[in-house]
Amino acid sequence: MADPVAWPLVYLPFFAEHGTWNEGLESNVIDFPVEVGPAKRRRRTYLPSTRVQFQRIISSDHLTIFLDFYENDLQSGVLNFTAIDPRTGDSTEYQFLQVPTWRDVSPGYWRLQFSLRKVNLPAVT
């Protein structure tokens, strides 16, 4: 697998608009149906997975930089990237879960939204 690409921090700060950072654990459990009685529950994997969603308002120039980074550097979101986690301050690897969306908020400014998964987190002990 290819090494993660660094977020273009010099051109595009990686931070969420205040109050929009949503983070939570993804389900690590799978249910298997049985003929009679409740489903059997099993742990899916021993590696934790965290989903992150946020939005931010950016300028048209920053949107162009972001789209170039997403479409070219990350090959339309196929490759992972690294950025500083705003909550922990650690360098963290992320992958896109969905295609990013944006909408206009005022002339020259856009509200960018996307969902990410933190990958390669240390196992919970």
Q: pTM for the full model? A: 0.75
- Extract the tokens encoding 12: 């595009």
Q: pLDDT tens-digit profile of 49-101?
A: 788 888 889 999 999 999 999 999 999 999 999 988 888 888 889 999 999 99
Handedness of CA 83, 84, 86, 90 (dihedral sign): positive
Whole-number Å distance between alpha carbons of 73 and 27? 30
